[in-house]
């Protein structure tokens, strides 16, 4: 079945450091890939998405490229800020199946220190 595996945390970085959070997936069809962010006490917010191979999703300085050959969708940011501290979830949705079910990774907690 479909699944997502992402880098375990927690991750602690200094402000302005480079961020990479690894995500790989398994899917039977042609999934869309997502990164969601969850701030303390809140629900999930969509950070970025890519719907087909080689697409690059980007938002708020974050980027991720849909790599079908390596089944990966790694999240990157060149210079993190304290306000980026949150839990990041990689997810996929396989439109080949009915219902648009989302599969999530276990989440990676990021703390950025000044």
CA 40 to chain centre: 17
Q: 46: number of CA atoms within 13 Å, CB side?
A: 10
Residue of the chain from 21, 27, 34, 110 that contacts other proteins (CB under 8 A): 34
C-beta closer to other proteins: residue 46 or 82: 46
Residue of the chain from 23, 27, 47, 49 that contacts other proteins (CB under 8 A): 49
**CB 11 → other proteins: shortest distance, Å?**
15
The pair phi, psi for residue 32, each rounded to 5°, is: -95, 150
CB atoms within 10 A of CB 44: 17
Contact segment (CB under 8 A) with other proteins among 16-24, 64-72, 78-86, 99-107 equals 99-107
Query: What residues make contact with other proteins under the rule CB under 8 A?
Result: 4, 32, 34, 36, 42-46, 49, 51-52, 89, 91, 93, 95, 97-107
């Amino acid at each position: 079945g479909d699944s997502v595996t992402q880098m375990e945390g927690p991750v602690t970085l200094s402000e302005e450091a480079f961020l990479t959070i690894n995500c790989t997936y398994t899917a039977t069809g042609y999934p869309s890939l997502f990164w969601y962010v969850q701030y303390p006490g809140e629900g999930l917010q969509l950070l970025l998405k890519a719907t087909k191979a080689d697409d690059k999703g980007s938002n708020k300085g974050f980027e991720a490229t849909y790599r079908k050959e390596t089944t990966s969708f790694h999240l990157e940011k060149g210079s993190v800020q304290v306000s980026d501290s949150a839990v990041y979830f990689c997810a996929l949705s396989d439109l080949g199946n009915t219902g648009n079910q989302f599969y999530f990774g276990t989440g990676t907690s990021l703390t950025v220190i000044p």
